[in-house]
Structure 1
Amino acid sequence: MEHELDAARSTADVERLAAECLAPDVWDYVAGGSGDEVTVAANRAAFDRVRVVPRALVDVSACDTGCELFGARAALPLVVAPMAYQRLIHADGERGAAEAAAAAGVPYTISTLSSEPLEAVARAGGVTWFQLYWLRDRDLVRNLLRRAEDAGCRAVVLTVDVPVMGRRLRDLRNGFALPSSVQPVNLGDEVRERVPGDSALARHTRAAFDPSLSWRDLEWIREHTSLPLLVKGILDPRDAVRAVEEGVDGLVVSNHGGRQLDGAVPAVTALPDIVAAVANRCPVLVDSGVRSGVDVVRALALGATAVLLGRPVLWGLGAGGRGGVAKVLDLLRDELDTALRLAGCPDVAAAHDLAVR
C-alpha cells in the first residue's frame, strides 16, 4: 500500500486506497452523509461550478502560499477540520494526523470527540485549535475549555449545527458502533453498544449534546476562555451578522460535509453572501467539499480567508496513517502552488482579487 500511496497524484487516488483499506462499515461512516446524501453531492457540484478568471502577465516566478490565521503563520490557507474518532481509521489516530499537520505547517483542530486525550494531540507540535460541542454537562464544557487553553490550543471552534445528529442512513443500516479501543476519551463515555437498525453515535449525541444552544450561550463561553472564538456551521448571512455583533472572532461557513441537514445549501454557494454581510469584520473560513488546491483558490476568490479540510485527511489516515495524511497535505500544497501561479497570483492575497463566473 505504501507504493500505491507514493503513486497517488490526487486526493481522489488516496480516497480509492482508503476505501480498499477500511472495513465497509467504517468506510460508510467516513464517506456517508445524512438522508439521501443530496448535500454531500451538492457540495462537490457547487465547487465545480465556480469558474475562476485568471490574470495574465503577472510575475509568478515566486509564489507565497502562506497566510496569517489568528496570530499564527500557516504555510497554506488551510486548517485540518475537527473530525471525531480518528483511531477508528488508523492506529496513528489524532496524534499522527496532528504530527502531519505540524510538519506541513498548518493548524490542526482537535475534536471534542477525539479518540485521544486533547493534551496528547496538542503535544504533537504545531498549531492546534480545539473544537467544542455544546454539552448538557456545563462543568465538563468548562473543564474542556480550561484543558484546551492549558494545552496551548490557539482558538476554540464552536460547532453550532448539531443540536441533534442528522439521520445518517448508512450508520443506521449498519447498526454502527465503536470498538472498545476507540471511545470519546475527553468525555469519559462509551459508544460501543450495537443495536440493529440504530447508530450508537446518534444515541450518544442525543444523550450528551444540549440542543438548547443559543446566542446567549456565547457570552458564557467567552467568560470561560480567553482564546479566539470561531463559530462553525453558519450558512445564513443573518446569522453571520448576528455572530459578528455578538463579538465572535471568526466564522466557518459549513454544512458539516453534508452530514446534518440533507438538502442544505452547499457551503461554497453560501460563502459570497456571508462574506459580503460580514464586510471584513472577521475572518470567514469555509469547509464541506474541499478536495484540491484548485478548490482552495476557488474559495479564496469567493472571499474566504482559508478552508478547513475534512474527509481527504481521513482518506490519507486510512490509506497510510500519519504518512497518508502527510501525502494528502503535500498534494494540496503542490496543487495550490500550481493553481495560484496559473491564476496569476504570486500570493494568497492576490487570489482574493480574482473574478469568478
Structure 2
Amino acid sequence: MEITNVTEYDAIAKQKLPKMVYDYYASGAEDQWTLQENRNAFARILFRPRILIDVSKIDMTTTVLGFKISMPIMVAPTAMQKMAHPDGEYATARAASAAGTIMTLSSWATSSVEEVASTGPGIRFFQLYVYKNRNVVEQLVRRAERAGFKAIALTVDTPRLGRRESDIKNRFTLPPNLTLKNFEGLDLGKMDEAADSGLASYVAGQIDRTLSWKDVQWLQTITKLPILVKGVLTGEDARIAVQAGAAGIIVSNHGARQLDYVPATISALEEVVKATQGRIPVFLDGGVRRGTDVFKALALGASGIFIGRPVVFSLAAEGEAGVRKVLQMLRDEFELTMALSGCRSLKEISRNHITTEWDTPRDSPRPLARL
C-alpha cells in the first residue's frame, strides 16, 4: 500500500504491535477528550490564503536556540522506542539527522544518551524527568552534556502520571528484554509489574512531586545548557517561565496523557505566545499530523513544532525508513501549504493567514478605492 499521509501509519502500527505496546503509545488520559481535541481543534482553524505572489522559491529553514535546521518540524521525546522497533531511538536519531532537524531523546529511552550520540552527527535535545534523588538528575544532565546534547527539555506536567486506563487494563510494563537505558547503572532501569500500570507505580516511586519553579533555577546551576520548559498551557505560567530564565517554552499537554479536559495545545498556544512578549521562543507539541497543522501553529506564533506519535507509529511500521518518510511527508505538505498561502519564508507566515473561532469578526467592507 502506498502511504500518502502520516496518519496511515497508525493503523499499520496497530496491526504490528502487541496490544499492550500499541495502547501505551496511542492512548490518552481518562475519557481521552483532550486526545481527540488535540486533533479536532486544528480542524476549526481556517486559512486566509494570499494569491498572486511569486512562490517559485520557498525557504523553510529556521534556527532553534541558535541551531540552524531545515524546517520547523522536530522530533518530540517519546519513551521506550525499542518497544516499537528493535532499532528504537537509534533509527529515530538517524532519521532526524538525515532530515536536518532536531531529535529530543526521552529520559525513559530504551537507548542511552551515549548510544544515541554514537549514531553520528545531529542536533539533539534531552528531555528530563526530575527524580527524587537529585544526584541521579545531576549525573544524567552531565552525561547528556558530555554526549553533545544541546538543550534540556524539562517536563513539568508530570508530578504524578495521568490516569491511562488502557495501561491499567493491560497492566503495562516494560517488556523484560528492555530497560530504561539511561538509568541502567543506577538500578532504576527496570520497571516492576504492578496491580495496575507498572509505569504509574514507577513514577510514584521515583519522580519528584515537590518539583517547583526553584528547581528550574537549580537546574541552571548544574548545567550551561539552555532549558526549555515543556508542559506550559497558560499565560500565567509562561510569564513565570520567562522570569525563571527558561530559554524557551514547549506548549504541551503531554500528548493528552496527563490531565484530561485541558485544551488542545493549538488552542492554548496564542495565550502563551502573547504572555512571553517575544522574549523567548514558544514551540508546540501535540496533535500535529499535517503540514497544514504546522502552518497554523506558526501563524499563531509558534517558532516550531514537535511530533511524537507519528514517529513511534512509523518506526513500528517501517523502522528508520518510516520515520524518514514521516518527516519528509510533513515537510512536503508544509511547503505546499506555504506556497498556496502565499508565503515564501517562515517570517512571512502571519496571524492574518488564518482565522480562528475566537477571532472577532473582520471589519465590514469599505467602498472600493478607485484604481
User: Which residue does 2:107 correspond to in 1?
Assistant: 112
User: Which residue does 1:286 correspond to in 2?
Assistant: 284
Q: State which drifts further: 288-297 or 12-21.
A: 12-21
**Aligned-pair distance for 1:195?**
3.5
Query: 2:76–2:306: 8 Å Cα contact kept in structure 1?
Result: yes
Aligned equivalents of 1:314, 1:50: Cα separation in 2 = 27
Residue-by-residue CA offset, 1:264-323 (whole Å, 9 max, x unaligned): 111110111111111100000011101111100010011100001110001110101111
Aligned equivalents of 2:226, 2:50: Cα separation in 1 = 35
Select which of 147, 151, 174 maps to 1:151.
147
Q: Which amino acid aligns with 2:285?
A: D
Aligned equivalents of 2:245, 2:24: Cα separation in 1 = 35
Q: Secondary structure at the match of 1:126?
A: coil
Query: 2:191–2:202: 8 Å Cα contact kept in structure 1?
Result: no
Counterparts of 1:333-344 in structure 2, within 5 Å, are 333-344=331-342
1:85 aligns with 2:80: yes
Aligned equivalents of 1:88, 1:73: Cα separation in 2 = 31
1:25 aligns with 2:20: yes
Query: 2:160–2:207: 8 Å Cα contact kept in structure 1?
Result: yes
User: Which residue does 1:234 correspond to in 2?
Assistant: 232
Q: Which amino acid aligns with 1:283?
A: P
**Aligned-pair distance for 1:193?**
3.4
Query: 1:191–1:200: 8 Å Cα contact kept in structure 2?
Result: no
Query: 1:191–1:201: 8 Å Cα contact kept in structure 2?
Result: no
Query: 2:192–2:202: 8 Å Cα contact kept in structure 1?
Result: no
Residue-by-residue CA offset, 1:125-152 (whole Å, 9 max, x unaligned): 2100011111101001001111111111
Query: 2:88–2:111: 8 Å Cα contact kept in structure 1?
Result: yes
Point out the structure with max Rg over C-alpha: 2
Query: 1:107–1:127: 8 Å Cα contact kept in structure 2?
Result: yes
Query: 1:114–1:186: 8 Å Cα contact kept in structure 2?
Result: yes
1:163 aligns with 2:167: no
Could you say what the CA RMSD is over the residues aligned between the two structures, in angstroms? 1.1
**Aligned-pair distance for 1:354?**
3.8
Select which of 130, 136, 139 maps to 2:135.
139
1:274 aligns with 2:272: yes
**Aligned-pair distance for 1:70?**
0.9
**Aligned-pair distance for 1:192?**
4.3
Q: Secondary structure at the match of 1:186?
A: helix
Percent sequence identity over matched residues?
A: 41
Residue-by-residue CA offset, 1:68-113 (whole Å, 9 max, x unaligned): 1111111110210011100011001001111000000110001111
Q: Which amino acid aligns with 1:138?
A: R
Query: 1:251–1:282: 8 Å Cα contact kept in structure 2?
Result: yes
Q: TM-score, normalised by structure 1?
A: 0.96
Q: Which amino acid aligns with 2:193?
A: R
Counterparts of 1:240-255 in structure 2, within 5 Å, are 240-255=238-253
Count of residue pairs brought into register by the alignment: 351
Select which of 228, 249, 261 maps to 2:259.
261
**Aligned-pair distance for 1:348?**
1.4
Residue-by-residue CA offset, 1:231-276 (whole Å, 9 max, x unaligned): 0000010000011011111000010110000111111101111111
Aligned equivalents of 2:7, 2:314: Cα separation in 1 = 10
The runs of 5 or more residues in structure 2 that have no matched partner are: 356-371
User: Which residue does 1:303 correspond to in 2?
Assistant: 301
Q: State which drifts further: 143-152 or 185-194.
A: 185-194
Q: State which drifts further: 347-356 or 27-36.
A: 347-356
User: Which residue does 1:225 correspond to in 2?
Assistant: 223
The runs of 5 or more residues in structure 1 that have no matched partner are: none
Residue-by-residue CA offset, 1:34-68 (whole Å, 9 max, x unaligned): 10111100111111111121111211101111111
Query: 1:284–1:306: 8 Å Cα contact kept in structure 2?
Result: yes
Select which of 176, 187, 193 maps to 2:183.
187
Q: Which amino acid aligns with 1:135?
A: Y
Q: Which amino acid aligns with 1:194?
A: E
Query: 2:76–2:308: 8 Å Cα contact kept in structure 1?
Result: yes
Q: Secondary structure at the match of 2:54?
A: coil
Query: 1:234–1:240: 8 Å Cα contact kept in structure 2?
Result: yes
Query: 1:128–1:154: 8 Å Cα contact kept in structure 2?
Result: yes
Query: 1:131–1:157: 8 Å Cα contact kept in structure 2?
Result: yes
Q: Secondary structure at the match of 2:7?
A: helix
User: Which residue does 2:117 correspond to in 1?
Assistant: 122
